[in-house]
Amino acid sequence: MSVLELALANIIGSSRKKDMTSWVRVPVAGGFSQSTLPSPPPSSAASDVAPQSLLPRSRDSPLKPGGHKQSGLIDYVDNKLLNVSRRYEKRFSAKLGNEDGDKEGIPIGDTEMKGYNGFAEMARDLNAVIDVVWVSGTPSLQIPYFLTIALTTTNALSPFQFSPRATFLLLKRLDAAFSSLLRGVNVETGEQLPGIRGKRGRPSITESIRLKSIVERTRVAIVEAAGKGESVTDGGNESGTDYDAMTDDDFDDDMTMQDLSIEDEDDRWEMEIARVYERTVTELGSILDVSESGPFG
C-alpha cells in the first residue's frame, strides 16, 4: 500500500466502511482476501462516483479540529506541497541531492527525486494533493490549500511549455472544487458538502477576493501560455499513466479529457481557454459586487 493510499484511508475514517472497498488485498491461506482497511475511490470509471467526475468522493463529515487525523493530513499535505515547490525550483535540472533528507521536504532514501521537466509532471503531483484535500471534507483546510494550489498552478504556466490536456484538467478540477465550496454543494452531484451549513464553512469575503484575483491572473496567464505556439505539447510524452493510479508513475492526461473531443485542436483549446474557471466565476459573481470588475462582467 502506498503512502498516499494509507493517508487517504486514514482521512476517510470509518464512516464509509459499509460502502467502500479497499484497493489492497492481503495474503491469507489459500490466496488473497480483501483488506479491512478502507480507502476512498480514485476519481475514475472504477470508482463509486460517475465516470466523468472530476473529484473523488469525500468524507461524510469534516475532520475534527486539532484531532490526530487533521494533524496528520496537514503534515502530509504540507510535505507534498513543499516537495512540489522544491521540484519546481529545480525544474529542468538533474536529480536533487538527498543530504538533508526530511529536513528539506524530501523523504529519506528518495534519491531519485528530480526537478520537473514539464508541466504534466507537476500537474500529476498537484492532482494527487487535490484528491487528498478534497476527500478530507474539511472546508477550513480545503479553501486555503486549494488557493495555494491554484496560485502555484498560475505561476507555473509561463516557465513550462504549454501542456494543454494536463493544464485544462487541473484547472477543471480546481474549478469544480472552488465552485462547490462557494455554493456549499458539490456542483457535479448536487450533494451538500460536509462542514458547510448556510454561509458557515464557505470561503470568506477575503478569501473570495483572493480567489477572484487568482482567477483573473490565471485567465490572462493561460492566454499567454497558449499563445506560445511553438511551445505547445500535449503532455503525452511527459507522462505515462493515469494520475488516478496515485503512484509515482508519470501522469497521463489523455485518459481523463474525454470531453475534449473537437476534431480541430486549435478550436478545442480556444474553447477550453474561454471556459477556464467558468463555474467559479459564476459563483463569485453572485457573492461579490463585480459590476465594475471587468473580467466577470
Under DSSP, the state recorded for 97 is: P
Q: Global pTM?
A: 0.71
Neighbours of 96 (CB within 10 A): 20
| CA 67 – CA 190 distance, rounded (Å) | 29
pLDDT of 50 over the 50 cut: no
| Phi, psi (rounded to 5 degrees) for 43 | -80, 70
pLDDT for 121-135, tens place per residue?
999 999 999 999 999
| CA 228 – CA 139 distance, rounded (Å) | 37
Domain limits, the chain? 42-287
- Top-ranked range on mean pLDDT: pick from 128-132, 223-227, 231-235, 288-292: 128-132
- Candidates 280, 241, 269, 250; CA nearest to 44 is 241
pLDDT score of 34:
38
